Structure 1
Amino acid sequence: MKVKVGVVQATPVFFDINKTIDKIDAIVVDCAKKGCQFLLFPESFIPGYPRKFTFGASIGLRTDAGRDLYKTYWQNSLQIPGPELSRLEQIARENGVYLAIGVTERDALNGSLYCTLVYISPTDGYMGKHQKIKPTGVERLVWAEGTGKDSLRTFDTAIGRIGGLICWENYMPLARMRIYQQAPQLYLAPTADARPSWPATLQHIACEGRCYVLGCNQFFTRSDYPEAYQQFLEDDETILSRGGSAIVSPQGEFIAGPLWDEEGVLIADLDLDEVLKSKLDFDVIGHYSRPDLFVFNAGAV
């Protein structure tokens, strides 16, 4: 089976959930006209990855201004379920495209935020989500640890089995193995990591998991921050995130990208039979595993 996928390297309308969804709508419409059946958007595309923000916090100190900023961030984050999610479902349905979108998710009950990857079907609507189980470094100030229950999973769809992890979760071997054990054909790796070394991570996952890997990042410049937030940046900073999005084959070869220093959509036709063929000489959960020596309890959570 062949499937046409797109990896969206774009800039959100920072801290504005409705205008960012407007941009998602325009991108999906354009890519649907080009035949895309699936689109991946970056980590925290809604409402934007808050790079360099401190939220007025240091050890033993929080400020009123930082709390106000957190409130703004929370108000522009995605609630599940909620009207903004319903709109995303409508966009997927009207264009016949599967969507996986990195969002900051707000919990209306407890007030916490989570870094989340939302999965949406054009026929069935919201399928489920993956919450980041371990935010990195100071991300933990604003993102709670996600639950693994019903989150570390793949989704069987008409265009193949889809699943993945967010950013540096992909450096957690047991988290990767949890996804591998469900035999993903499209492994998603949205990120905020724009280092030159990140594409090698995508290649490693492809070779290890013997699956297509879709890596996705935002492109972000100083001018994309509203004036009120530019105080958090150094005077000489211009490009805040170079991107580096890519699509990698089950043999670890770049099919598209890496894309640097600009917005764009990487589009590729993928043959899912290549996933099966690549397992002739390596299958991490099959003939190249040693369950008699290594025990992994996939049902632990």
Structure 2
Amino acid sequence: MKLKVGLVQESPVFFDKEKTLEKMEVLVRRYADEGCRLLMFPESFIPGYPRGFSFGTRVGSRTDQGRQLYSDYRNNSIDLKGPEVKRLEELAREKNIYLVVGITEKQDNHGSLYCSMLYISPVEGLLGVHRKIKPTGAERVIWAEADGESLVTFQTEIGRLGGLICWENYMPLARTAMYQKGVEIYLAPTADSRDGWTATMRHIALEGRCFVLGCNQYFTKGMYPEKYGKWLGEVPENLCRGGSVIVSPRGEVLAGPLFDRSGVLIAELDLDEIARNKLDFDVVGHYARNDIFRFEATGQPETHVEKGQGPVTD
């Protein structure tokens, strides 16, 4: 099976979910018309990864200005029950394309936010959501932690999908939770634009014998609206270089890494390559040594099977 995929290395319209959705719609229609069956957007693309902001926090103190910034950020975040998700579902159906979208998620029953990854199908709409189980560093000020129910996988028409966000990918057992579900297309939205991230993506591809799609944004200080950019202080103009990359199950780079500009990486994946490379190494098969090691991800759900795909066994 051959599958054309695209990674969107673009900037959002920061703190403006409506204009960001409008930008997304233009991109989705364009690349769906060029034959992409899967299009992926970076970590917290809606309403933007808040790089450089302190939200007025120090150990032992918060500021009213920081609280207002948090409120603005929350107001432009996405509620899964809201109209924004329905809009993305309709777009996926219209263009017959799978969408993987990084968002900051709000829930109307409490004030906490989550760094989330939406899986949207042209068949079912919203298949499910992965919420980051461990925000990194100062991210913990704005994003709560999720639990094992967030370690989701999906059997779809285009293969078995799953993945982790940014530095979750440095958690060996979180990766194992994905491998044991047989993920074929491993999705890794990120905000890490260092050269070493490419090595991480290649390692995961070799370890999991899966295709790995690492998607980042390109972002400069000047892209922030003036009312927010003035709060940043001394930060470099080039805030995020990008580095999106697509890697084969053999660890070979198929497209990218793309640095220092916006763009969309496109590659054609041959899903038969996954089985061929299990001859050499299978992390949950003949290399697992279940007589020595035991692993359980508490609360991890069974793989969700898209309508029309028939039963599968994890």
Same fold at TM > 0.5: yes
User: What does the per-residue CA deviation read over 1:186-217, in whole Å, with 9 as the maximum and x for residues that have no partner?
Assistant: 00000000111111000000000000000000
1:296 aligns to what?
295
Q: CA deviation at 1:298?
A: 3.6
Q: Is it true that 1:71 corresponds to 2:71 in the alignment?
A: yes
Residues 153, 182 of structure 1: 8 Å contact kept: no
1:192 aligns to what?
191
Map residues 257-268 of structure 1 onto 2, 5 A cutoff: 257-268=256-267
Aligned residue for 2:23, secondary structure, equals: helix
Residues 14, 225 of structure 2: 8 Å contact kept: yes
User: What is the alpha-carbon distance in structure 1 between the residues aligned to residue 235 and residue 112 of structure 2?
Assistant: 34
Amino acid of the structure 2 residue aligned with 1:72: D
2:168 aligns to what?
169
1:203 aligns to what?
202
Q: CA deviation at 1:235?
A: 4.6
User: What is the alpha-carbon distance in structure 2 between the residues aligned to residue 195 and residue 234 of structure 1?
Assistant: 22
Residues 131, 148 of structure 1: 8 Å contact kept: no
Q: CA deviation at 1:236?
A: 6.4
1:123 aligns to what?
123
Residues 46, 78 of structure 1: 8 Å contact kept: yes
Count residues in correspondence.
300
Q: CA deviation at 1:10?
A: 0.5
Amino acid of the structure 2 residue aligned with 1:159: I
**CA spacing shift, 1:128–1:27, aligned 2, 3 Å:** same
User: What is the alpha-carbon distance in structure 2 between the residues aligned to residue 189 and residue 300 of structure 1?
Assistant: 21
1:100 aligns to what?
100
Aligned residue for 2:258, secondary structure, equals: strand
Residues 49, 192 of structure 1: 8 Å contact kept: yes
Q: Mind listing any 5+ residue stretches in structure 2 that lack a counterpart?
A: 301-314
Map residues 47-86 of structure 1 onto 2, 5 A cutoff: 47-86=47-86
User: What is the alpha-carbon distance in structure 1 between the residues aligned to residue 55 and residue 298 of structure 2?
Assistant: 37
Q: Is it true that 1:276 corresponds to 2:275 in the alignment?
A: yes
Residues 148, 297 of structure 2: 8 Å contact kept: no
**CA spacing shift, 1:11–1:35, aligned 2, 3 Å:** same
User: What is the alpha-carbon distance in structure 2 between the residues aligned to residue 281 and residue 190 of structure 1?
Assistant: 28
**CA spacing shift, 1:81–1:12, aligned 2, 3 Å:** same
Amino acid of the structure 1 residue aligned with 2:106: R
Q: CA deviation at 1:228?
A: 1.6
Q: Is it true that 1:255 corresponds to 2:263 in the alignment?
A: no
Map residues 136-175 of structure 1 onto 2, 5 A cutoff: 136-149=136-149, 151-175=150-174
Q: CA deviation at 1:2?
A: 1.0
User: What is the alpha-carbon distance in structure 1 between the residues aligned to residue 235 and residue 178 of structure 2?
Assistant: 41
Amino acid of the structure 2 residue aligned with 1:31: Y
Q: Is it true that 1:223 corresponds to 2:222 in the alignment?
A: yes
Q: Among the aligned pairs, what percent are the same residue?
A: 59
Q: CA deviation at 1:11?
A: 0.4
What's the TM-score once normalised by structure 1's chain length? 0.98
User: What is the alpha-carbon distance in structure 2 between the residues aligned to residue 245 and residue 156 of structure 1?
Assistant: 24
Aligned residue for 1:170, secondary structure, equals: helix
User: What is the alpha-carbon distance in structure 2 between the residues aligned to residue 69 and residue 299 of structure 1?
Assistant: 35
Residues 128, 152 of structure 2: 8 Å contact kept: no
User: What does the per-residue CA deviation read over 1:166-189, in whole Å, with 9 as the maximum and x for residues that have no partner?
Assistant: 000000000000000011110000
User: What does the per-residue CA deviation read over 1:42-83, in whole Å, with 9 as the maximum and x for residues that have no partner?
Assistant: 000000000011111111111111111111000000101111
- Higher alpha-carbon deviation: 224-233 or 4-13: 224-233
Residues 102, 117 of structure 1: 8 Å contact kept: yes
User: What is the alpha-carbon distance in structure 1 between the residues aligned to residue 220 and residue 235 of structure 2?
Assistant: 12
Amino acid of the structure 1 residue aligned with 2:127: M
Q: CA deviation at 1:116?
A: 0.2
Amino acid of the structure 1 residue aligned with 2:70: Y
CA RMSD of aligned residues (A): 1.0
1:9 aligns to what?
9
**CA spacing shift, 1:299–1:55, aligned 2, 3 Å:** closer
What's the TM-score once normalised by structure 2's chain length? 0.94
Amino acid of the structure 2 residue aligned with 1:171: Y
Q: CA deviation at 1:275?
A: 0.5
2:135 aligns to what?
135
User: What is the alpha-carbon distance in structure 2 between the residues aligned to residue 288 and residue 197 of structure 1?
Assistant: 26
Q: CA deviation at 1:231?
A: 2.5
Q: Mind listing any 5+ residue stretches in structure 1 that lack a counterpart?
A: none
Residues 47, 103 of structure 1: 8 Å contact kept: yes
Q: CA deviation at 1:234?
A: 4.5
